[in-house]
């Protein structure tokens, strides 16, 4: 069941919407938990219990939406999805203690580290797909991907074989997240957020992770994964007419380069990535800055471009 009414004559579905019940895609938009994950939480774990029309379409009350947000609170604290149901009996979420269920993330991270070390694309893909089916992207980024990348950067420093692991993982990330952006962009409408890699590096994983998170928040995203000269950047903005421009770099800029890149656009402009720490003093408070993907997501949310938390 795809949870889409067969036709406008699905009377009980339309009547339920009129009473304030929400279809699964609207719940996904409001909470950031995609429909596949919502169905998995229902079928495998009994975490949510939507109502059903006679034709089987799922409909959610505001209480169920609040329950989903409560689930997200526990997941963001590192609790495994299979352990959340018992914790939902508590009225107020509490910080994990020594008696709290063990985090699932360490084991998952070790599996991914092993896959990267073996250059095993299928193993990496299967592990990531399994996690993505159970956890929303924001939780996956906070609990799994960000710690994984930080640990790998330390492992790669000065280690023989580190560069081939970096190339392997970054290539997989671009393919994996790029495919998801392509799929999401065909579901959404409106002007995109244009995200541009300003580094000389062939791939900025933080840029692709930012694009993936923004895309999952209901926004069309275009990614230019190579530096663009300031004069031609203006051409791209004029032709694409994005709702916002996000410039990402982990490398410092030459003197006088930033004003030409950041000014003169007919849309909001955000500078993101590790380069922000280098140039912060000369840019604040006049420029929107984001140190990493989560900060960038917050800036886009503050601009009113994203739908959910």
Degrees to nearest 5, angle at CA 234 with 289 and 304 = 45
Q: What's the pLDDT score for residue 267? A: 93
Lowest mean pLDDT among 2-6, 123-127, 192-196, 246-250: 2-6
Of 253, 249, 257, the C-alpha closest to 195 is: 249
Backbone angles phi, psi at 223, to 5 degrees: -120, 125
Q: Regarding predicted confidence, which is higher, 191 or 57?
A: 191
Q: Regarding predicted confidence, which is higher, 162 or 218?
A: 162
Mean pLDDT for 153-166 is 91
Average pLDDT, the chain: 87
Q: What's the pLDDT score for residue 307? A: 63
Residue 211: pLDDT over 50 = yes
Residue 178: pLDDT over 80 = yes
Please name the residue ranges forming H helices in the chain: 11-18, 24-31, 35-45, 62-76, 84-87, 105-117, 121-134, 137-140, 146-156, 162-185, 205-216, 230-240, 257-262, 275-283, 293-302
Q: How far apart are CA 167 and CA 115, in angstroms?
A: 14
Lowest mean pLDDT among 111-115, 181-185, 225-229: 225-229
Q: What's the pLDDT score for residue 226? A: 87
Degrees to nearest 5, angle at CA 151 with 150 and 155 = 120
Backbone angles phi, psi at 245, to 5 degrees: -120, 125
First vs last C-alpha separation in the chain? 27
CB 114: neighbour CB atoms within 10 A? Answer: 13
Question: Could you tell me the pLDDT band of residue 93, with boundaries at 50, 70 and 90?
Answer: very low
Q: How much is the pTM?
A: 0.82
| pLDDT cut 90: percent of the chain above it | 55
Q: What's the pLDDT score for residue 1? A: 52
Radius of gyration of the chain (CA): 21
Most confident range (mean pLDDT) of 17-21, 42-46, 72-76, 207-211 is 207-211
Sheet hosting strand 58-60, strand order edge to edge:
22-23, 58-60, 51-52
Contact 178, 112 (CB under 8 A): no
The per-residue pLDDT for range 107-122, each reduced to its tens digit, is 999 999 999 999 999 9
């Amino acid at each position: 069941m795809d949870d889409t009414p067969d036709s406008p004559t699905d009377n009980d579905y339309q009547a339920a919407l009129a009473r304030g019940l929400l279809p699964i895609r609207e719940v996904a938009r409001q909470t950031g938990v995609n429909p596949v994950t919502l169905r998995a939480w229902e079928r495998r774990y009994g975490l949510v219990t939507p109502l059903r029309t006679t034709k089987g379409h799922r409909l959610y009350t505001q209480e169920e939406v609040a329950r989903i947000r409560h689930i997200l609170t526990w997941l963001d604290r590192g609790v495994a999805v299979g352990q959340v149901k018992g914790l939902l009996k508590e009225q107020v979420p509490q910080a994990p203690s020594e008696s709290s269920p063990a985090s699932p993330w360490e084991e998952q991270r070790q599996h991914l580290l092993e896959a990267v070390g073996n250059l095993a694309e299928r193993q990496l893909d299967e592990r990531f797909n399994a996690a993505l089916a159970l956890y929303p992207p924001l939780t996956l980024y906070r609990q799994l991907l960000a710690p994984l990348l930080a640990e790998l950067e330390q492992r790669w420093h000065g280690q023989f074989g580190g560069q081939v692991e970096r190339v392997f993982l970054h290539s997989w990330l671009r393919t994996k997240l790029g495919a998801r952006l392509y799929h999401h962009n065909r579901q959404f409408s409106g002007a995109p957020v244009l995200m541009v890699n300003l580094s000389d590096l062939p791939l900025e994983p933080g840029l692709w992770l930012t694009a993936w998170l923004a895309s999952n928040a209901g926004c069309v995203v275009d990614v230019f994964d190579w530096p663009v000269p300031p004069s031609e950047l203006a051409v791209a903005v004029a032709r694409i007419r994005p709702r916002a421009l996000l410039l990402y770099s982990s490398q410092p800029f030459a003197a006088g380069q930033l004003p030409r890149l950041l000014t003169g656009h007919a849309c909001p402009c955000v500078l993101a990535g590790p380069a922000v720490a280098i140039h912060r003093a000369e840019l604040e408070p006049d420029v929107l800055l984001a140190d990493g993907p989560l900060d960038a997501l917050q800036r886009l949310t503050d601009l009113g471009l994203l739908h959910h938390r």
